[in-house]
Structure 1
C-alpha cells in the first residue's frame, strides 16, 4: 500500500460482525465489506477475517492515508492494544502490531473504542459538523457515548470516559452483564427494553397486545406504541425518563451544544421518546446548561465510517492525539 492523503479504510469490529469501508475525504463510501465475526472460532480467526475484510475494499493499486479500527471495549490507542473487549473475548491484544506485520506495510493504523469513533464520524460527516463541543450517545446492545470537548476527543485518565451505561440509578433493579444491579443500560439498551417489556411484574399490571408474541422485537413494540398500546407507552415513558436523567447529567458536566442519539436501538425509538425526554431534561437541568442545546437523531448509517474517521483525526498536527506508531 502507498500513502495518499485523501482515502482511508475503516473497520468496525463487533461481537457479531466486521464491517469495512473505503472512503474519501468527503465521506463517500467507495467500497464496502460485511462479514460475520464468529468470535467462538478464536482470536486468530477473527484477525484473519479482519485482514480479509481490509483486502476486500482496496486493490494493490490503491493508495491510502491509513486504516482506522474500532472495537467495543477498552483500548490503548497510542500502543495499538485492545486492553479488554468482552464481546470479542480479547484481553491485551496487540492488534495494530499484528495487523501491520500481516499487511507488511507502514501505512498508519489508528485504533479506538467504537463509541469514540462514532463521535468522530458525526464530527466529520454528520450532525456535528462545525461543532467543537458535542456528545454522541449510542443505544444498542448496551449504552455508550463519545464526545468532543473544545475540539478534542474526550478519553479520560484510563481511556474510559463516558462509560455511561454502567451508571447505577435509583429505581432500576435488573442485574447488568457487568455484575452490578441497577446500571442504566438495563433499561437504555435493546435487550434491556425487551426484558423490561416482558417483565412479569409489568405483565400482571399493564395489558399488552403482544403478550403472547414469541421472539418479540423492538420494532414490534415501537409499532404498538404508535397505536396507543398501553404497555409500550409505559415502557417508552420509562426509557424517556432515564434517558433524560443521563443527558441532563452530561449537560451539567460537559456543557455541550449538541447531543446526538444513535445506535440501532436509539434510532429505532428516538421518535417515540423525544418529546417526553426533552421536557424532562428541561426540568432536570440548570437553564443555562440547556439553553440553545440541540438534541438530534443521527443521520449516519455506516458503523465503519467512524473507524475511517479515526484516520483523519489521527493525521492532525496535534501530537497529544497523534496515535500512529510504526512497526519497528
Structure 2
C-alpha cells in the first residue's frame, strides 16, 4: 500500500510517495507560489513528480496527507490562518481534491503535528505507546501521540509548546506573551543571545567564527566556540541548555510520555546538547524514582519527518 505525503512550506512544496513502512519511494520538490489556487496546483504538480519517480499511479495510492503550517481545521480541510502566505480560511483540501480521483481520501494536519507523527511512526518513537516531540527551529514546534493517536486538542490547536511560559514577565514573544519557551530555546533565541554576548565581549572567539559579521551567526557557532574553550560562548550555551532542560522537564512532568524527542537544527549537536539536558531531566523529573521513566531521544528523520508523518496520517487518526 502506498501513501502520498505533501509538506507545504513557505519556500518549497515537497511531496513524497511513502510505503506503509514509512519508506520514501519517490520525491517531488517545487518552489511555493503565491495564492491559494496556485499553491494547490503546485502541490499536485509536486505529487505527480513524486509518483513518477516512484513508478506509482494515482490508482495505487491509498490516501493523500498534507502537512501545513498555521492553524488547521483537519475536519474541514481548512487552513484557518497562516501569515507567511496570507492564508485565511483557505479550503486547501477542496482546492487540491480536483487533481485526484474522487475516491482518494485527503487528510491535512499542522506541519509540527505531522513531523511528530513521522517520528512516532518510523523514527525515535517507533514501537512506543506515547511520545512528545519538540522541534528547535525558528520557533519551537511540538506534537504528541498518545496510545497510537495524534493529540491535537478539542479545537485542533493543542501542543503549542513554544508558548508555555518559562519565565514570568520575561522576553517578549511574537505571540504577545512574555517569557515563552521559544523566546529562550528556539534557534532564533540562541542566535539572538549569541549576538548580544558578542557585542558585550568584542574579544570573544565567536567573532572569528562569524567572520566578524553578526549576520553570519547561526545555531552551530556558539557550540563550536564553546567546544574550543571560549568563555563567552560557554556561558551562552550553558544558559541555553539550562532553559531547555527546564522546559523539557516541565513537559515531561505534565505528560510523562514513554519517549521525549528533540529535533530541529540545534539537535544536530548530538550528545553535546542531549547529555546535559538528560542530566537536568534526571534531576528534575518528578518521576525520577520510578522504575519506568521517560526516555529522552534525538529525532531520527531530519527534514523527512513532516512528509512521512503527513503521508501516514490516515493510519493514526
State if a TM-score over 0.5 links the two structures.
yes
Distance 1:284 1:223, change over 3 A: same
Determine if contact 2:274/2:298 at 8 Å carries over to the other structure. Answer: no
Report how many residues are paired: 305
Check if 1:312 corresponds to 2:292.
Answer: no
Matched residue, 2:39: 46
Corresponding residue number in structure 2 for 1:318:
none
Cα 1:83–1:248 shift into 2, 3 Å: same
The change in CA–CA distance for 1:219 and 1:290 in structure 2 (over 3 A counts) is: farther
Cα deviation for residue 219 of structure 1 reads: 2.6
CA RMSD of aligned residues (A): 2.2
Structure 2 counterpart SS, 1:97: helix
Alignment check: 8 A CA contact 1:71 1:113 kept? yes
Alpha-carbon distance, 1:275 to partner? 2.3
1:20-78 CA distance string (max 9 Å, x none): 1111112221111222225xx33332222212111211147351011110112221111
Q: Does 1:146 align with 2:143?
A: yes
Alpha-carbon shift at residue 291 of structure 1 (Å): 4.7
1:259 matched to 2:260? The reply is: yes
- Superposition pairs for residues 146-295 of structure 1, below 5 Å? 146-170=143-167, 173-199=170-196, 203-204=199-200, 208-211=204-207, 212-214=212-214, 215-265=216-266, 267-286=267-286, 287-288=288-289, 291-295=292-296
* Alpha-carbon distance change, 290 to 235 in structure 1, aligned in 2, over 3 angstroms: farther
Which range moves more in the overlay, 87-96 or 204-213? Answer: 204-213
Q: Distance in 1 between matches of 2:41 and 2:204?
A: 46
**How far apart in 2 are the matches of 1:36 and 1:207?**
42
Q: Shift of the alpha carbon at 1:104? A: 4.8
Confirm or deny: 8 A CA contact 2:16 2:51 kept in the other structure.
Answer: no
Q: Deviations over 1:73-103 (max 9, x none)?
A: 2211111111122233211111111111243
Helix, strand or coil: the match of 2:185? coil
CA distance in 2, matches of 1:227, 1:130: 39
Structure 2 match to 1:61: 57
DSSP-derived class of the 1:198 partner: helix
The structural deviation recorded for 1:7 is 0.2
CA contact (8 A) 2:7 2:307 kept: yes
Query: Normalising by the residue count of structure 2, what TM-score does the alignment of the two structures yield?
Result: 0.88
* TM-aligned CA deviation for residue 122 of structure 1: 1.6
- Greater CA deviation, 238-247 or 203-212? 203-212
* Match of residue 21 from structure 2: 26
Tell me how far apart the structure 2 counterparts of residues 272 and 18 of structure 1 sit (CA, whole Å).
33
Q: Do 1:252 and 1:289's aligned partners in 2 also have CA atoms closer than 8 Å? A: no
User: 1:285, CA displacement in angstroms?
Assistant: 2.3
Q: Which moved more, 1:283-292 or 1:103-112?
A: 283-292
Aligned partner of 1:99 in structure 2 is 96
Following superposition, the deviation at residue 290 of structure 1 comes to 9.0
Alignment of 1:70-109 (within 5 A): 70-109=67-106
Structure 2, unpaired ranges of 5+: none
Q: What do the CA deviations read for 1:170-189 (whole angstroms, capped 9, x no partner)?
A: 27743322233322212221
TM-score (norm 1): 0.85
CA distance in 2, matches of 1:218, 1:235: 11
Q: Which runs of 5+ in 1 are unaligned?
A: 1-5, 314-320, 322-328
